[in-house]
Amino acid sequence: MIYLLLSILSSTLIYVVFKLLEKHNIYRLHALIFNYLIAFVLGISMQSDLQFSDILEIPSNDWFYGAVGLGIMFITIFNFMVITTQKSGLSVVSVASKMSLAIPVIFVIFYYDESLNTMKIFGILLALVSVYLVSIKTKKGIKIDKKNLIYPAIVFIGSGIIESGIKFFENDYIKESDIAIFSASLFLCAMTTGLIALTMTRKNRTTPIKLKAVIGGFCLGIPNYFSIYFFINALRIESLSDSAVFILNSVSIVLLSTLIGIFIFGEKLIPKNWIGIATAIVSLVLISLYN
């Protein structure tokens, strides 16, 4: 269980760092690229007995192209999150990214033929309801212009594919000794994609790289790496089903991030957010008891 707790804490720290990036008006693409560099270096340093020849042999691993695809998707989906926020607001992108939890849960239940019971199904449904309620920040809910619907849809599907992909490669291709190097490869591909994106628009090319973006990237890269590393290890907890890991991890992150938002960043919640928090707690209890 320690890996699951560490995954939750690492992912929650990502939320805290992103809030600080926003507060200090740090250009996020620059911070993201440095963050992926730090995460890559961490992964390489954590791989035991790594030789230079081992690095050259990374492309020969069965999971390599999966790491490339996931790395590209990491920063691509982030860019779509930015577009969604600009066109439809923060609540829409928050709901789309967090509700994507449904995709890996459905994936592991059907692809790996997980057993289900009534209380577990009820707990899963409550988890999805709680994520939605906590993510909504306006009393009227969310409104999306039909012409902009494609952007949150991409965020929803893409985020779900990323988590499902991590589970697929963890289960079928990644040896325990390769977790660190797989994570490092993933972040290297994300960084490379980010560097390419940096050259594609005039704004990206002409925005100067500031020291605070480098510092922000460093602060983001450490929890970002460990969120993946610990999550992969959490998926290997024998006493928990994969769907339980996904739900406990995601809902706990939402719950803890919300509490940090209240007590540290002074965020105000509306009644449906409090209902979401209560629902989240009930769902966590049900999933834990009927795992």
Residue-wise DSSP of the chain: -HHHHHHHHHHHHHHHHHHHHHHTT--HHHHHHHHHHHHHHHHHHHSTT--HHHHHTGGGSTTHHHHHHHHHHHHHHHHHHHHHHHHH-HHHHHHHHHHTTHHHHHHHHHHTT----HHHHHHHHHHHHHHHHHH--STT-----GGGTHHHHHHHHHHHHHHHHHHHHHHHT--GGGHHHHHHHHHHHHHHHHHHHHTTSHHHHHSPP-HHHHHHHHHHHHHHHHHHHHHHHHTT-TTS-HHHHHHHHHHHHHHHHHHHHHHTS-----HHHHHHHHHHHHHHHHHHHT-
- Residue 53 pLDDT class (50, 70, 90 cuts): low
Comparison of pLDDT for 49 and 31, the residue scoring more: 31
- Give 178-204 pLDDT, tens digit per residue: 899 999 999 999 999 988 888 877 776
pLDDT given at position 183: 93
Q: How confident is the model at residue 54 (pLDDT cuts 50, 70, 90)?
A: low
Answering whether pTM is above 0.75, one says yes
Confidence of residue 135 (pLDDT cuts 50, 70, 90): confident
Residue 36 has pLDDT above 90, yes or no: yes
Is residue 168's pLDDT more than 90? Answer: yes
The string of pLDDT tens digits covering residues 79-128 is 899 888 888 777 788 888 999 999 999 999 999 999 888 999 999 999 99
Percentage with pLDDT > 90 across the chain: 61
What pLDDT band is residue 33 in, cutting at 50, 70 and 90? very high
